[in-house]
Structure 1
Amino acid sequence: MHHTFVRSLLLCLTIFSTAALAEGTVARAQFASEVLDREPIDELADVIKVEYGEIQRVYFYTDLRDMQGSQVIHLWKLDGEVQAEVPFDIGGDRWRVWSSKRLMPGFDGTWSVDIVKDGIVLESRSFDYVDEW
């Protein structure tokens, strides 16, 4: 009886692990000031200050694993309201994608990006764009 239980448990764990791998993972997700050679050059802090007379471009970079053949969306929001949807078709087992948003004075608030696959939010990151004047 004990051996049957252990075998059943191992089978369930194997099936669960395989299903989890089929869904894929987000290996990295971060905001950056630029992406060069398919890699972010830095990681921005949780607070970005408005620079008057300047337009700041903020990049959202994701390193996706085991999602080949799927589509993933970067859903940019300002204070919870959708500002942009950027879809990506995933072409390999490791796929690096990024999108960007131009931030200007007056766009202050809490910005977030949801990584969405098949209508499910896989991960979300946010930062505050702060006008200190």
Structure 2
Amino acid sequence: MVKVLTRVLLTGMLSFAIAAPVLAEGFVARAQFSTAVIDREPIDDIGNVVKVEYGEIQRVYFFTDLREMSGHQVVHQWKLDGEDQADVAFEIGGDRWRVWSSKRLMPGFDGTWSVDVVLDGQVIDSRSFDYVDEY
């Protein structure tokens, strides 16, 4: 009986030790595109399609609520139709860290925009929207 209990406890501890590094890497609790961020919160969710307003410049924000990533660097990689446009890096200073970046979109920048959330060189989340020319 003691051998069985010891074996079960050791197996459980070993399983936890193997799973613990995965949990330590953190996760994205929320991610969304917005027209603004106020008091560290997005004011809206623009959805999957943004229409080009002729002659207007539109700023689109990408907001992320990051968990369990203290001490790491996270990058928002902005892409247009798969081509890199901008990288915005953040040093994460706590177990819950809210960050955002933005891009000014003008007529002619239509296409599929995406932002990859990169933690220590690996994409951990990705979101996209279509910037559509209305005319």
Superposed CA RMSD: 1.5
Shift in CA distance, 7/82, structure 1 to aligned 2, threshold 3 Å? same
Match of 1:52, SS state, is: coil
Please list the CA deviations of residues 57-85 of structure 1 after superposition, one character each: whole Å capped at 9, or x if unmatched.
00000000111111000000000000000
Please list the CA deviations of residues 82-113 of structure 1 after superposition, one character each: whole Å capped at 9, or x if unmatched.
00000000011110000000001000000000
TM-score, normalised to structure 2, is 0.91
- 1:72 counterpart (71, 74, 85): 74
TM-score, normalised to structure 1, is 0.93
2:22 matched residue in structure 1: 20
Please list the CA deviations of residues 1-55 of structure 1 after superposition, one character each: whole Å capped at 9, or x if unmatched.
7656643542243124421221011111110010000000011110111011211
- For structure 2, which runs of at least 5 residues remain unmatched after alignment? none
Aligned length, in residue pairs: 133
1:84 matched residue in structure 2: 86
Match of 1:111, SS state, is: strand
Match of 1:60, SS state, is: strand
> Where in structure 2 are the equivalents of 1:1-133 lying within 5 Å?
3=5, 6-133=8-135
Distance in 1, matches of 2:10 and 2:45, equals 44
Distance in 1, matches of 2:6 and 2:90, equals 45
